[in-house]
Each structure stands twice: as C-alpha cells, then as structure tokens.
Chains A and B, each alone.
Chain A
Amino acid sequence: MSGETILMKDDGTLRSLLPMRSALTRRSLLQRLAVAGVSVPVLGGLLAACGGDDEDEADTGDSGSSSGTSTEPAGEATSDTADATSDSGDSGESEDSGDGEVTKGGTLIFGHDREPDSLDPHKVTAVIATDWILKIHDTIVSVEYDMATIGPGLAESWEVSDDGLTYTFTLKDGVEFHSGDPFTAADAKYTIDRWLDDETASPTKHRIAGIASVEAPDDTTLVLTLEARNNELLINLGSGFGAVLNQSFVEEAGADYGTLKVDGTGPFMLENWAPRAEASFTRFDKYTWGPPSYKNAGPAHVDKLVMKIIPEDTTRVFELESGGVHIVPSMPENEAKNLESNDDIEIIQGEGGSTSYLGMNLRKDILDEDHKPIRVAVMHAINRQQIVDELLYGYAVVAWGPVAPWIKGAWPDAEANGYAYDPDRARQILDEAGWVEGSDGVREKDGVRLTIPFYVTANDTNQEMMGLFSSNMADVGIEAESVMIEEAAIWARLAAGEHTIMLMNMPHSTPDEILMFYFLSDNQPAPNRFGFSDPEVDQWLRDAREAETEEEWLEDYYNIQKRVMETAFWMPLFHPYQLVGVRKNDIQGFQYYGLYSMGSWKLLDVSLKS
C-alpha cells in the first residue's frame, strides 16, 4: 500500500473531486448519500443546498454500499466513484484484501523532530499537535486522504438546509471515550462552544467563526446554525482543531487537560508522555468507528504506538536506518537524498499543501503602487529552480501561484501567466523605469539606492536561501539586505509592518486557508502582512466561502489568484514535498496524509510485517 502513496496527484484522487453527471439531481443525490452515511465532497454543504436546477455535481467519494443502509445511490454514481477512491480503500472490504496477510499486534515507532505543546485541540496550532490529537480523538466528520472529500466521523450522516445555514448531524450511537464515558451530542456541543469561547483563548477560533448557535436536542443529534453559508466549515470540523472532547473529563481535568490528562474516542489511548523524550499510546480495543478511508474500521492492528522525540536530524535518521524507529515524518532533504538508495527505506514525497513565498509590503515606498516595475523585476530575477535543485535536493516543485497545484482550486493557468526566471527582462524593466546602475553595480534613481531589506526567520535553510536571493538580486542591480530574526521575535515585527520583503511558508489544505488569511483586507496588518487591499478580492473571498455551485467556487478562487499574481506583490517560490521516511520492509499499510501536513492520520491499516 505504501507504494501508492508516493505521489497522490494522479487522477485517481483528483477525479473524485470533479463534478460528475448522473441521473439524480444534485440535491437528491447528496441527501441520499448523507443519510446513508457516505462521504461527500468539501462542497457538500453548498451542493446540498441547491435544489431545482439540473446540474448534477456531486460525488460520493466512497462506496455507497459501505454503510449498509436502505437508500443507495444510482448505479452510475456508484460505479464511477468506486474506482475514484480506490486509493483510500472501501470500508466494506475485508481486512486482508490487497495487502496480503495482516499481522496483529506489535509496536509501531515514530521518530519525531518535535512534540506537541499540548494535546488540547483548542490550545494549539502546531502540525505535530494535530497529528497526535487525531490519533487520540475523533472528529465529527472526517477529511479523507484526498484532502477534499468529507466523510463520516463521529457523525454517521448529516443534512444541510436549503439555505446552507443549518447543519443537522446524526451522531453514531454506541461510541465510547477511553475513560468509558459514552459519547453524546452534548459532548460535541460542548466542544464547539469551548472552541468559540473567548475564555478558552483558542488560537484557531477564527477558523469556525460565524457559528450562530450549537444545539444538541437529543443524544445523537447536533445542530449547527450559521450566520452565513460557509464552505470551509466541514473541513475545519474534520481537522485536528475540531477534535471532539469529553465534557465531564475536560471540566474535571482543568488546566491539566491536554498534557497530564487526555480523553478521546480515537483509536489510540495516551498511556504515558514523558516530555522531550517519548510518548506511548495503546490501542483502544473498543474502537470500531474508523473513517471510511480505512479498510479496517478498528480497532487498530498494532497494539502500541510510540512517539520518540529526536530533535537532532542526524540521530533521527540513524534511528530510522538502524530500525530504532519505523517512520520519520519529517526527513531533512539531504538525509532523504542519502537514503534513497537504501533498500530498507522508502522516502515518501507527501503532497501536503504548502507554499513558500516572498511577500512584499505594499506600504513601503520602494514597493508601493508607483513602483510596480521593481516588484515585477524582483519576481523575474529570482531563480526558483535553483532553490529547488540546490537547497531542497529536488524535493519541491517550483510555485507559480499561491495554492499548491495538488490542492483543488489551484489556478490552472498560473504557470502560463507566471513570472519566469528572466534576469534580462528584470534588468530591462528596471532600465525602463529609470533605475540606473551606479558605480558599485546597485541601481539608483533620483539619489535613491535600490536597496531592499529581506526579513527572514533565522534558520540554516533560510540563510542559504537568502544567499541565493542576494546573488539573484545583485545580478539585476538590486541590493538585498538580509535581516535575520529569531522566530519568537519576527511575528510581532511583521505585524508592525517593519518588513519590505518577507520570506515565509504557509501550509494549506484548501484555497481558502491560504487566500483568505493572506489577501482579505480586513486581515491587515496580520496575517495580511502585505498591505494588500482590493475590494474585489474581498468580495470574491466571501463569495467563494458562500458559493452555491462548484463553478462559482472555482471561478472566485481563480479570480483571486489571477489578481494576486497580476498585482505582483506576492511571489510564490516553491511547494515543498513533505518527506516521510518509512521502513518499508518492517511495516505495511501506511499512507501519507496531507491534511495540515500531518503526514499520518489514524493508522488503522498499518501493521508490522512479522
């Protein structure tokens, strides 16, 4: 199974995202599917809401028969979708199909470079935290391996009202927390209320802003009412931040929740966590409600999960080589390259959405609206292929737009309209704009030297990258001044708008996750740290969130990306692969999970080879 995970952008997964035609109307299909507890795409909410018109765009995303309920989708729909999701597997299949024999038991060992600060989903933003959280907790809905299809989680089905404002989730019965408490709708309500509560001070609260009310009329029904349609709701509920908590347990644990005390309904129970050393998890034997992405709905095949914290790259890689750990979810590029010839180890190039970019501050005189030629020249002057080849050992693709190409909604024409590496063009543009090279090779105009400070978080890779930027800039007569700042200090300085150009990386699983944060004018001074304000873009961002059809949704996002690129203030550099090292002869059934760049998800299909 692990062999299939190397590259996920092949049409297998993309096809499942695309609208398809069937005899059913969009709405009726979706409702049937939802009732049947079957996966629906991210846009399920918007699709469900539109009745009456004939455009049929929905996608089951999973085998309709898996739920075993009476309603079933039209035959055409089933046959088409069954193979579309062959990657993620069908829940109805028997456990050992495809992969040969599955060995039960054993301990699966991860080597992480860092550990979570906390496992309280409402206190964290770190990728590693969501990774551990989703092994212990479940979410109301699940986001499947394609990062776009929404499947059942703790909710077996849900319905969305015609206006898209009311979500009614039917929760699974018989689900238990590790502590033995039964899971009810009251816990789900408590979780969302707590997430939104100011006192919780959740750093991810804004992700589900706009929920007007949360009701739990009975033990298995959860009703969310929104202020406005929100196509991002479900994917956020399915993220690590949406992990469902046990109300009584959390209230009793108080400030210790997430570190000393944790309870969830997930496939693994936290057994022991020695900070900075390792954490161990044991299998939750009662777990049978795994997401449909897995062949095995639970309990997990392995008895135990150990997360070793090994901050030093070399040590971590030695551990992988010597078999001390089975999986390293964050391989340094150079080490990954070395291990490619190792027969025991497979390097998975995971396509978690992530974009490294140079952001220009339009509030700075030298880059403001009168100086667009400088911005364009900078974009033509930077040699991104060199960064990818030399610094990242080829483990990235050159970026042409903000959204990673393997995320649905990425602008397909980005490359054709992009800023190719062309120093001659950059020089020509600067010449035309009247910037003349001075005696030391740096251009000047009206006594102003063309010096641009680059604000960069201090670390080794960035330092090397900065070296390349400097020489690229010098090549066209621009002086790049490197301002390296420690991570703890840089955010406040960027929020204060000190920077002229900044270097940053942004993980994202949907277009909204990067475009809304960065380009909404209300998000100034941060996270919109570019002084970018465009009423039309603001409107498109809101429209996309509330779009009722996929065409509208895509059109809005394409428009935004096109406008951002045309304005030439945000230069996408590259989309890095997340490199996961796996001991392929020791384990099987591992699949890369790209949501929020976690790398792994619930590990239900993973087993040790005997």
Chain B
Amino acid sequence: MGAYILRRLLMTIPVLLGASIIVFMIVHIAPGDPAEMVAGPTAPREVVENIREQLGLNRPLPVQYLTYMQNVVQGDLGRSLVSRRSVNTEIRNTFLNTLELVLVAQVWSTLVAIPLGVIAAVKRNTIWDKLSMAGALFGISFPIFFIGLIAIWLFGAKLGWLPISGRGGPLWTIDGWKHIILPAFTLGYFQVAALARVVRSSMLEVLRRDYVRTARAKGLADRVVVYRHALKNALLPAMTVMGLQFGFMLGGAVVTETIFSWPGMGRMIVGAINYRDFPMVQGPILVLTGAFVLINLIVDVSYGLIDPRVRLS
C-alpha cells in the first residue's frame, strides 16, 4: 500500500504541471488587463504603460510563465499584482478558513444524510421515505443564496440568535462556533440532499443482495443487518460522492462565503479573476488541484479499509 500511495503522490506532479499551464493559458487568453485595473479609469496611457512595465506584464508569455514556475518550484507563489500581498500567506489564511467551513458542513451533512438515506431505503415507499426524499428534493431545488438569506433573516435579523457575517474568533472559541453555524448549515444543506439520495439508492441495491437475505435468515437483528452488513457496502458510492463534494466545496463555496462574508478561498479566487490578478488565481488553483488529488487518494485508500475486497495495487 505504501508503494501505491507513493506512486499516486508522484503522479500529482504532472497533474499540477498540466494544471498550471492550463490555468496560465486561460487567464491570459481571457480578455482583460490587470494593468488597466490597477491604473483605474482615469489614468493616462503612459501611467498604464508604466504600471504594466513595473509589474513585468510586458514580457513575453513564456518568459512570464517560466519565471513564475521557477519561483513556484522554490515554494514561492509570488505576490498579488494588485495588493502586493504574498500569495502564500493569502492562501494559508483563506485555505484554513475554507477548510474549517467545509469540514463542519461535511460532518453535519454526513451525519444527517446517511441516516436519512438509510431510513428512506429501509422504509421504502412509506411516509418516511417520501418525507425524507421530498426534503432532499427541497434541498437540491433551492439555490444556496436563497437558503442563506432565509437563514440570515430568520436566525440573525429576526431572532437575533446568531451572528450573520464574518469569521468571528477561532473555531475553538464559542464566538467562532456561533459564526460558523449559519454558513456551515447553508453549505451543508445542499450536500445533505445530494448525499441522502445516493445513500438511499445504493442501500436499496444492497438490501436486495443475497448476503443480506442470508443475514436476515440467520435471525440477526434488523438493526445489525442494516447498519453492519448493508450500510458498510452501500457506503462506497457515497464515499466517492463525498470526496468529490469536499473537493468542490473547497474552491466552490463562493456563494456561501459571499453571503456570510466568510473570508474563504472561493471569494479570493473570484475576486482575483475579476482583477485578472494572475498570481492570485494561479496559486490558489494549484493548491486546490493538489488538495483535490489528495482527497481522491484518501477516498481510494479508505475504500480498501471499508471493503477488504478492494485491493490497492
């Protein structure tokens, strides 16, 4: 298994390299000019040209790419063209914020979605099934910003129970927890819906299998059959979905982050794209690519742990 993991890790290098080239090309091909953005609408041409020169944007693209990669290899992702902030520091701060948010969202949505999916499958075609799946449909159908604004209005403005914007203190403080509840709820809500449906359908499939019937025939308690025998096998597709969701949320929680003023990575990347701030787009995307590869690796490895029949080689 060690060799497998090592091989997978080594494979991230070409993936990152490819991603860096693609991102670099997309950002540069897209119309827009960071020098114009920095200069503002009233600057005369010579001021714009001077800014372009000082930022090194008038050099040929391959030269810009190679210089950039040279620094990246040494662990330096450069500085923002606009704020001159170090991209490394910016990523460190925002990545942790996003990670916290996504983890909390993922944990609560998993804790709710799995039982929900199981109940729906076990009590198929009963009112419980209908209710939980209707709830899931509800979740998928409502856009995040709608859920978010309703949550803000109800819990923040109307009831005044929870803060509605900002990061608050660190997660180990009560203030930090208060601040994370609404955004994590909003972000996770959508995941519950998607995950519960996956769990339900794979549970239904597993419950029809022979070994489940055997287990029942042996006279095992229903709970044991469902949770120990069926669920374990039904979890594999759910794991894959969770892995993908997790990776997606790291960079794609923009709407939630914006509504709740959460200082996360998604907002940072979107802001940088709007400015054509190349280093601030490329750095975070490289990190996200790495994170995505890593999460998939973890999912693959955990397959083997859940189901010994899956051999990693």
Contacts and interface: CB of A to CB of B under 8 A. Distances in A.
Interface of A: 117-118, 120, 123, 125-126, 198-199, 201-206, 255-256, 258-260, 274-278, 308-312, 314-316, 318-319, 321-322, 324, 486-489, 491-493, 495, 504, 506, 517, 522-523, 525-527
B268 A259 contact: no
Interface stretch (B123-131, B195-203, B257-265): B257-265
A51 B229 CA distance: 101
B63 to A, nearest CB: 20
A198 B166 contact: no
B261 A312 contact: yes
Given A321-B157, A324-B165, A312 B259 contact: yes
Interface stretch (B38-46, B104-112, B287-295): B38-46
Interface in B234-278: 258-264, 267-268, 271, 274-276
Given A318-B164, A322-B160, A504-B41, A277 B261 contact: yes
A488 B275 contact: yes
30 contacts: A120-B84, A123-B38, A201-B50, A201-B53, A201-B55, A255-B84, A256-B84, A258-B83, A258-B84, A260-B85, A275-B85, A275-B90, A275-B93, A276-B263, A277-B167, A277-B261, A277-B263, A278-B167, A308-B166, A315-B152, A315-B165, A318-B152, A488-B37, A489-B30, A489-B32, A489-B33, A492-B36, A493-B31, A517-B42, A526-B48
Given A312-B258, A321-B157, A488-B276, A276 B94 contact: yes
Contacts of B267: 276, 311
Contacts of B178: none
B23 interface: no
Contacts of A486: 31-32, 274
A374 B271 CA distance: 40
With most chain A CB atoms within 10 A of its CB, the pick from B37, B55, B160 is B37
Given A198-B50, A201-B54, A324-B164, A315 B40 contact: no
B164 A274 contact: no
A271 B280 CA distance: 25
A527 B47 CA distance: 11
B82 interface: yes
* Residue with the greatest number of chain A CB neighbours at <10 A, chosen from B43, B79, B82, B163: B43
Interface residues of B, number: 56
Nearest to A321: B157
Given A488-B32, A489-B32, A527-B41, A314 B149 contact: yes
Contacts of B135: none
Contacts of A275: 83, 85, 90, 93-94, 263, 268
B38 A203 contact: yes
A319 B31 contact: no
B153 interface: yes
Given A206-B47, A310-B166, A495-B36, 15 more contacts: A117-B83, A256-B84, A260-B89, A275-B268, A276-B268, A277-B167, A278-B167, A308-B166, A308-B261, A309-B261, A312-B258, A312-B261, A486-B32, A488-B36, A517-B42
B32 A123 contact: no
B103 interface: no
B54 A199 contact: yes
Q: Which 3 A-B pairs have the closest CB atoms?
A: A125-B40, A488-B32, A201-B54
A41 to B, nearest CB: 24
B54 A523 contact: no
Interface string B151-172: 0110011001001111100000
A526 B165 contact: no
A258 B50 CA distance: 20
Contact of A274 (B47, B93, B268): B93
B51 interface: yes
Contacts of B258: 311-312
Given A198-B50, A259-B83, A312-B261, A324 B41 contact: no
Contacts of A125: 38-40, 42-43
Contacts of A324: 163-165
Contacts of A525: 45
Contacts of A198: 50, 54
